[in-house]
Structure 1
Amino acid sequence: GIPFIYQGQELGMENIKLDDIKYYDDIHTLDEYATSINEGVDPEKALELIGARSRDNSRTPMQWDDKEYASFSNVEPWFPVNPNYKTINAKQQMEDENSVYNFYKKIIALRSNSEYSETLVYGEFVPVDTDNDFVMPYKRVYGDKELFIIVNYSQNEQEFKINGEWHTILNNYGDNEKYTGLLKPYEALILSN
């Protein structure tokens, strides 16, 4: 498939929590809010519900640095800047070698690496069975080359044993130690045969 990176995703930007319906502009979101209110949902609860799904989350000003308005503008923008811009911004991410931004760069470099690119781009997607609801394992197979992708979607360590000899080529924790069968919280890694 074709990878997409949306504005701010490469920085780890988060959805903004808006505390008033006046900030929303998306017509679908406004309709959802009105429907919820008409059905008797508490306005605060209705705001919480639409906040989780609103397309306006992706319309916040880009967070360039920790200066006023996140340096998106030198005047107040049309839409609130996420208050976390002081700690989540492009400048901070570029300076931190273990940041989300720099991990995206590593993923892109890996996809461009001639040793792995054909497997990642053209390889067959092969799901791997697991009884662990928090672990998503799958393989990309192209010819005699296999990549094993394992992701832990939990805030806790998870056990996931695999057979065979594999070496780590990418890990969001930054270490490329031999895979032990124990995944750290929210760990994502790519192994090669």
Structure 2
Amino acid sequence: MSQQNEPTAPREDGLVVGPDGLARPVWASKDPLLRDYYDTEWGLPVRDERGLFERLSLEAFQSGLSWATILRKRPAFRRAFADFDPDEVAGFGEGEVARLLEDAGIIRNRAKILATIGNAKATTALREEGGLAALLWSFQPEQTPEPRTPQEVPSRSAESTAAAKVLKTKGFSFVGPTTVFALMEAVGIVDTHLLGSHRRGTSGLWVSG
């Protein structure tokens, strides 16, 4: 590969300028899958129940693993978990659990599989109180972080801590403050794109001025 088609070295702000001239964080600068996810999906608002249930489930499975691993397995996860339809997943029994534990396409972790099924049940139960989307988005802060470097990106917040506490009281599991903050970043509830990134402000929710 010629050098002109390779990303530059990280700048002082931790961003890498790609061959297309766009600045991205290091984690999204080389792997094509991560780059596409960063450019087209991460941080854009997700407000539908199924979409949020999927993201919540994948964040739980990601615990202890790389996000690239989860993204590569996402098609298999969708097949295994009925496209993350909460009603269908909530109905999974021991037969489905056994099937999932034999599915090499996903992360075969019994605790996380059971948590996903339990979270599906909690998601459907929440409809009586306005739904998962209303609950999660109620924790949108008045201001979003404005990190200039990767070191300034928080891993949790007062809002993610409060949301995690409420989710647990509603029957959700694998929803600690760090996991919930990662979810909030992924679905646009907060914007933690570095200030110099080409994606900063693209959610439309935090445009300054």
Q: Would you call these one fold, judging by a TM-score over 0.5?
A: no
Q: Highest relative contact order (Cα 8 Å, sep 6+), 1 or 2?
A: 2
In the superposition, the TM-score normalised over structure 2's length comes to: 0.29
Bigger Rg over Cα: 1
Q: Which has the higher strand share?
A: 1
Q: Which has the higher helix share?
A: 2
In the superposition, the TM-score normalised over structure 1's length comes to: 0.31
